Every structure is written in structure tokens, then in C-alpha cells.
Amino acid sequence: MSEETRLIRAGATSGDLVKTVGPPIQRGSTVLLPCAEALYDDDAYLTYGRAGLAAHDALKAALGEMERAAGVNLYPSGLAALTGAMLAVLKAGDEVLVVDNIYKPTRRFCDQVLARYGVAVRYFDPRQSPEDLVGSATAATRLIVMESPGSLTFELQDLAAIARLAKARGILTLADNTWGAGYLFKPLTQGIDISVQALTKYVGGHSDVFMGSAAASDLALVRQLEDGVHNLGWAVAAEDAYQMLRGLRTLPTRLKRQGEAGLKIAAWLREQPEVAQVIHPALPGAADYDLWARDYSGACGLFGFVLRPGSEACANAFLNALDLFGLGFSWGGFESLAILCDPQLGKRKFVPDLAGPLMRLHVGLENEDDLIADLRGGLDAYARATA
């Protein structure tokens, strides 16, 4: 053989890899098949790398275990999981009911893309009863999309009741369960058809990888979602799948720590004179506490609070005085973050009455007493600005 052919053939993949704790990170678009018959035998052989290799399979298996799912599909981001799952089950002429406190980019997709493809979108009040919600469905209603607790205002919904009523009408249900992370709450066990989460948040846990998942307990639905991924041509990198699996190993430990710290900080905030209201479903006395206690095994570190009346400039004075809380839109990582929510509430139809600026905090893995001291500094700045 010539030197160039020798170099192409040299160092080929070994069939026998040693066993490590994590899966092998296989990089590959090409999959080499064992014989000619295997080339078109999609049932028996994986024929192309876009469908995922060893690290993807390991991640899907672990997520499936956590979600109690028959199968899980991976997407390049949490938003892609939401949009991909909706595209996989909806068609022109269908109607989708979407909770009004949905993550804003999901709403933008519904308004700008679904509407253009002939799917009618109707937003419902997160406080609407399951009976009224499902009762409002028409013959065209194909899917109900929920997020519980909802983005920014954290209302909980009775997902089990909605799923039961929807199933009786032949309507599919989808829950964005990023707050519950597939661990604190398991939508499929409550009868929800599709459980979606942005793995980017708590599963990744380090604010450095994008990915989403959609899990289902019905195998035919898993296949339908999988077809959706394949038809759109999406793929996630093996390194990213490996990183997600690594994050999953410490998910329970991080959630416990961050959830407890978040509750301690929420309880402290409730006592501060500059704070009008704390919105945290797991805080005893909260509007949704009973539902949270029924459905959740714990809380994550994300919640909101309302300051006493003050201008946006005063709210910015609070944020700018923070040092340990970074100013950033994401959450679920090891670091604490804060944002002002008010500018994002504009498009909503059902916003609760809020006495003043609405803040969202994400409590990370820092010491909670240090975080409380940081927040006290922010509240002092707010008190000065509003004086």
C-alpha cells in the first residue's frame, strides 16, 4: 500500500474499549457497518452518527430512568426540545392551548412559527381550573402546553388533573418541567404525555452546555418525537452529551443544597421591610404550597420576589448593588443570578397584581449567609433610591 493509503487505514477504532465510569465519547458522522446487508437494515443497525452514539445513548438511558420514560429524545437546546416536540405532534388546522406564563421564547415560537403554519394558538390563565381549561377545548384542540411553576410568576398548575381530563378528550399534554429538572417532579408519572426540560439548566448545572430533552411513556409517541428530530436534522455533540451525563450524577446533591438555600433566603426576604411579597411555591403559606407539597419532592433554587413600589431606576439600584448575584438571564448553574422581570411581562394576558418591581433570583452553591448579606446590601440601595 502507498503511504497515503496506509495513513488513512492506520490507527482504526478498536472494537474492545476498556470500561471507564463514563461512556466513551465517540465522535462520528460515519458509522462503519459489518456487512452489505446491514447497510439498509435500520431496524438492526445504527447507520449514521446523527442519531447519536455511545454517550448519547448513555444520557438518554439515564434520563429515561429519572423521568420514568419509555424513551427520551435529545435536542440542541431546551427551546429546541419545546419547539421540536410541538412540531412533531401538531399539524395545520390544530389548536394548541398554551399557559400564559410560558417561557417567552416558547411564546414567540407559537406566535411567529406555529401561527404561520396554520396552528391556532390560545393562551390560558395559569389560575384557570383544570375543568374550565379542558372544557374550553374545541374539536381542533390537539395539545395543551404547560409550564409549572411558570416562568417569572411561578404559578403551579394541577398537571395530574389536566392530564386526566385531557386524556379523556383525546388531547395530548406537554409540560416544560425545567424547574423540577425531571427529579423533583416527574410529569409522566402524573399522566402528562410529553415531559420536556432544558437540560441547559440544572442537569448541566455549570452554565456551559446547551441541550434539551423530551421524554414520553408511550413508545409510539417516543417514535413520533424521534421522527421529528430526524426530520428537522438536529444533532447534539457527543462531548455535550457526556457533559450532561456528568452533570446528572450530581443533580440530586446540587438540587438539595440549592433548594434548601433558596428557601432559607426566601423566608429571610419575606421579613425584610423593602419586600412586598415573595413568590416561591415551596414556602409555607404560599398560594401554591399545597399543590407543591403534593407533587414535588423538593424545590430548586429559582424564585421571585416583589419589592415595595419603586421605579425601574430604583430596581436597577438594587441589582447594581449586588456583588455575589450576577446579572444574567439563565439559571440552574452553580452560580447565583438576579434579574428584573417587569420588561418581560408585557405580552402576557394574565399577570397577577404586583405591588412593585418583580425580581427573579437564582440561588447557586455559594454560602447562603453570604448571599443574604449581599441581598441586604441591595435592599439598602433600594431603600436609599426610593426614599
Ligand X SMILES: Cc1ncc(COP(=O)(O)O)c(C=O)c1O
Given the rule CB under 6 A, which residues bind ligand X? 77-79, 103, 147, 151, 176, 178, 198, 200, 210, 212, 330
227 has catalytic annotation:
no
**Least distance (Å) from ligand X to the CB of residue 177?**
9
Query: Burial of 208 by CB count in 10 Å (0-12 exposed, 13-18 middle, 19+ buried)?
Result: exposed
**Least distance (Å) from ligand X to the CB of residue 195?**
12
Q: Are 173 and 41 in contact (CB under 8 A)?
A: no
Determine the residue type at 131: E
176 has catalytic annotation:
yes
Residue 48, strand partner residues: 30
Q: Are 196 and 211 in contact (CB under 8 A)?
A: no
167 has catalytic annotation:
no
**Least distance (Å) from ligand X to the CB of residue 35?**
40
In the sheet where 141-147 sits, what is the strand order?
A: 71-75, 212-216, 194-198, 172-176, 141-147, 95-99, 120-124
Q: What is the DSSP secondary structure assignment for residue 111, as one 8-state letter?
A: I
Nearer to ligand X, 128 or 151 (CB): 151
Nearer to ligand X, 314 or 359 (CB): 359
* Catalytic site residue from 186, 201, 348, 360: 201
Measured from each CB, the residue nearest to ligand X is 78
Nearer to ligand X, 210 or 350 (CB): 210
Q: What is the DSSP secondary structure assignment for residue 48, as one 8-state letter?
A: B
**Least distance (Å) from ligand X to the CB of residue 360?**
10
Q: Are 178 and 246 in contact (CB under 8 A)?
A: no
50 has catalytic annotation:
yes
The alpha-carbon radius of gyration of the chain (Å, integer) is 23
Nearer to ligand X, 129 or 330 (CB): 330
Q: Where do we find the cell 478498536?
A: 14
Angle at CA of residue 102, ends 144 and 159, nearest 5°: 45
Nearer to ligand X, 78 or 126 (CB): 78
* Catalytic site residue from 75, 103, 183, 242: 103
Can you tell me the distance from the alpha carbon of 46 to that of 49, in angstroms, rounded to the nearest whole number? 8
**Least distance (Å) from ligand X to the CB of residue 155?**
13
Using alpha carbons, list the distances in angstroms from residue 222 to 159, 189, 191, 203, 280.
20, 16, 15, 21, 33
DSSP run (H or E) holding 88: helix 78-89
Can you tell me the distance from the alpha carbon of 75 to that of 110, in angstroms, rounded to the nearest whole number? 18
**Least distance (Å) from ligand X to the CB of residue 213?**
10
Nearer to ligand X, 66 or 337 (CB): 337
Q: Are 280 and 263 in contact (CB under 8 A)?
A: yes
Nearer to ligand X, 153 or 200 (CB): 200
Q: Are 53 and 273 in contact (CB under 8 A)?
A: no
**Least distance (Å) from ligand X to the CB of residue 188?**
17
Q: What positions carry a catalytic annotation? A: 50, 103, 176, 201
